[in-house]
Amino acid sequence: MDVELGHRILRLRERVVSNFDAGNWEEIGLLTGFSGLIKGHTRLLRSLHWGDEDYAGNALNVLNGIAAQNLDAIRVIESYCDEKFEEESHYISAKPSEKKITFCPSVFEVPNVQVESDLVAVMMPFDAGMSSVYQTIQNSCTHVGYRALRADNIWEHSVIIQDIFSLIFRASVVVVDFTGKNPNVMYETGIAHTLGKLVIPISQSIEDVPFDMRHHRVLKYLPNNEGLQALANELAAKLRQVSA
């Protein structure tokens, strides 16, 4: 698959995840002749129904399968989206939802940008002692085809919270490091959850993770060579699962 086609499919995946319900998938199946592939996928419609975090990955898997067999079918789906959803909505959440909300924050502005499917936003303390952890996260993301950025990598606004919000908004995945119980990280995690982002929590100590977050699987790591390598492997595995 060439790079241009890959980007087309990723953009189409974003529109599909943002807008499709089961009825839309059924209509696409009829229009393209791929009803069997869609209904036969073991997780697609189930993950859509239950709002599972792997729905975006399942949608991408189906679109890739269709593209591999018939490129004209991809054009049909693109035209279908143009007709059904005239104004392409921002792809914010990795999960579909029965309810949509419109919000107008007063502390920062909602950026006029699209979500970048390969972008991972990293929220962690701005501490020189954490530089090796951030480097590990960057290397792990690069290894599986993602880009990792933190707010100190960019400077687009005079107010740092605007850069942080814009970075979270653009990202498809947010990694949050709770090490040290940093209050800024807690605040940023709340933003990410409100925007419906897939949040991957990590920490050197489970005691640093807020009680309300402990029901989520936390990637616990040690800040030594062996521990950072283990973190890199676990994070890469999680990102592969998301993009599969």
pLDDT of residue 194: 87
- Residues in the chain with pLDDT < 70? 1, 86-102, 153-159, 214-215, 244
> How far is residue 128's CA from residue 187's CA, in Å, rounded to a whole number?
21
pLDDT of residue 236: 95
Residue showing tokens 């029901």: 215
One DSSP character per residue, 22-34 reads: HHHHHHHHHHHT-
> How far is residue 85's CA from residue 204's CA, in Å, rounded to a whole number?
44
> How far is residue 133's CA from residue 126's CA, in Å, rounded to a whole number?
11
Cα angle: 43, vertex 49, 54; to 5 degrees = 45
**Which amino acid appears at position 208 of this protein?**
D
Q: Are 41 and 59 in contact (CB under 8 A)?
A: no
pLDDT of residue 18: 84
pLDDT of residue 244: 62
One DSSP character per residue, 92-124 reads: --SS--S-------SSSPPPS---EEEEEEEE-
> How far is residue 117's CA from residue 30's CA, in Å, rounded to a whole number?
28
Cα torsion angle, 149, 130, 239, 195, sign: negative
Residue 118 in tokens = 């390969």
- Structural fold of domain 116-243: Rossmann fold (3.40.50)
